[in-house]
């Protein structure tokens, strides 16, 4: 069992969660505390929480959810030490996440994982996460889910019990300009950019400003969210 650990962020802390390519190497080496001794700004764990004054980030290990990596690994070799038996690992992770989200009094709740839940990109919707992770996010009124995996910049908005959940993909670091885009409801798909770029997020207790940029720093898309100061109290 790997419960959600609590992390207190340090200035310019680099918080990392494992992706599918990380599981193709020595996972324990990447999780080693020796790396943090070398650079205290580095933090990588399987699943953990970063708490700030008014926001909590719940970083989730999404790779073990994907059936294909177990049933059709092709030419890849995955390091599943610490994950097997898989059913127990995933069950504990989902229970821990649901409990942590329910107990959270943060004004903003943001879940971060490597894999997409909602995406019009090459990898598209991750069915396993849509089935097992998404209901927990919606039930706990999570404000945003952030991911990489698809090599694009993307913003999808899903209605949820009178509010909205934002699905934000920032994977435009490589393999750009593939031309891979799937059909999606235009009312939900606020941005799809196939090129390179990055995303920024600025937050206060009452406002969140999301901005997507291209590789030259030009603004591609802006989105602002507001909530009452006592919304999460």
> Which residues participate in catalysis according to the annotation?
123
Strands 163-170 and 153-160 come out as antiparallel
Strand partners, 202: 209
Contact 49, 6 (CB under 8 A): yes
Q: How many angstroms separate the CA atoms of 121 and 30, rounded?
A: 28
Token representation of residue 126: 């991750």
| DSSP secondary structure, 206-219, as one string | SEEEEEEEETTS-E
Cα 4 from chain centroid (whole Å): 15
């Amino acid at each position: 069992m790997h419960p959600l650990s609590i992390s207190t962020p340090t200035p310019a802390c680099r918080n990392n969660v494992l992706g599918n390519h990380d599981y193709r190497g020595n996972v324990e080496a990447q999780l080693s505390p020796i790396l943090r001794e070398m650079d205290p700004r580095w933090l990588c764990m399987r699943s953990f929480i970063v708490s700030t004054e008014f926001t909590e980030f719940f970083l989730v290990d999404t790779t073990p959810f994907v059936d294909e990596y177990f049933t059709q690994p092709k030419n890849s070799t995955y390091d599943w030490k610490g994950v097997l038996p898989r059913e127990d690992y995933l069950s504990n992770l989902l229970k821990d996440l649901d409990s942590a989200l329910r107990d959270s009094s943060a004004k903003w709740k943001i879940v971060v994982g490597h894999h997409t839940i909602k995406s019009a990109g090459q990898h598209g919707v991750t069915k396993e996460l849509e089935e097992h992770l998404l209901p927990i996010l919606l039930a706990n009124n999570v404000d945003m889910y952030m991911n990489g995996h698809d090599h694009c910049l993307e913003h999808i908005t899903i209605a949820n019990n009178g509010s909205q959940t934002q699905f934000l993909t920032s994977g435009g670091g490589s393999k750009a300009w593939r031309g891979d885009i799937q059909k999606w409801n235009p009312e939900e798909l606020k941005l799809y950019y196939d090129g390179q770029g990055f995303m920024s997020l600025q937050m206060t207790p009452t406002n969140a400003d999301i901005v997507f940029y291209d590789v030259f720093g030009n603004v591609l898309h802006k989105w602002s969210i507001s909530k009452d100061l006592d919304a999460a109290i």
